[in-house]
Amino acid sequence: MRLLLILAVGLAVALCAGCGQPTKRSLWERYDEPGGAYRVYYLRPPWKRIAADGSALELRVDNNPSAFGIDSGLAPKYALFVSVVAGDPAALAAREARRAPGRSETVLFPPSAVRTEAGDSGFGLTVRQDGGEHLYRRFAFLADRGVVVQLLFEAVPVVDDPEIDAMLGMVDVAPGAP
């Protein structure tokens, strides 16, 4: 009887073993643009969706006081604005680099090529506000099959971060297109 019990438990465990490990995509929340223009993954918590209007999406990580329900007036720790734009990714990135000085921003990383895990390519740059809270802004323009998507990360901490890189790398432009 005892041996049968051990065998039964062992069999159950053996059947369950290797049921599957989660992947980074299964651990993160997914948002699909209704028109199929893009797919974005974000980790919730701490990210939360603020608005999804048409092809635009806004995500945010609250600052610490706001996380406890205190309105401190501080900027959110991270924010992501996603939208569908028209144009060439390289030209769009160059335009943002030119506009930066007029917005009292310094270009920290000039436009350079980026590529996502899904194979979408584009250009990105990082700027920093000169005054105030030293807000960092990181642009990425990705294109696939004629669809161009702009992603703008705004952050009080340094935005060139491995977690932001991972989030950007999981973006998929026109995921449903053949």
The residue type at 9: V
Residue 65 as a binder of another protein (CB under 8 A): the answer is no
Q: Which is nearer to another protein, 55 or 116 (CB)?
A: 116
- Give the range of 11-19, 90-98, 117-125, 144-152 binding another protein by CB under 8 A: 11-19
Query: Binding to another protein by residue 8, rule CB under 8 A?
Result: no
One-letter amino acid of 106: T
What tokens appear for 11 in the block? 């069999």
Among 40, 61, 142, 147, binds another protein (CB under 8 A): 61
Closest CA to 36 of 54, 51, 21, 20: 54
Asked whether 39 and 52 are in contact (CB, 8 A), the reply is: no
Closest CB 170 distance from another protein, rounded Å = 10
Helix (H) or strand (E) holding 16: helix 2-16
Residue nearer to another protein on the CB measure, 47 or 123:
47
Query: Which H or E element spans position 90?
Result: helix 89-99
Q: Rule CB under 8 A: is residue 162 a binding residue for another protein?
A: yes
- Contact call for residues 43 and 31 (beta carbons, < 8 A): no
- What is the 8-class DSSP label of residue 20? -
**CB–CB of 116/170 below 8 Å?**
yes
Q: Is 86 in the site for another protein (CB under 8 A)?
A: no
What's the CA gap between 135 and 14, in Å, rounded? 52
135 is an interface residue for another protein by CB under 8 A? no
Residues 17-56 that bind another protein (CB under 8 A): 17-28, 43, 45-47
Residue 80 vs 143, nearer CB to another protein: 80
Q: Does 72 bind another protein (CB under 8 A)?
A: no
Chain contacts with another protein (rule: CB under 8 A): 2, 6, 9-10, 13, 16-28, 43, 45-47, 61-62, 64, 67, 77-78, 157, 161-163, 166
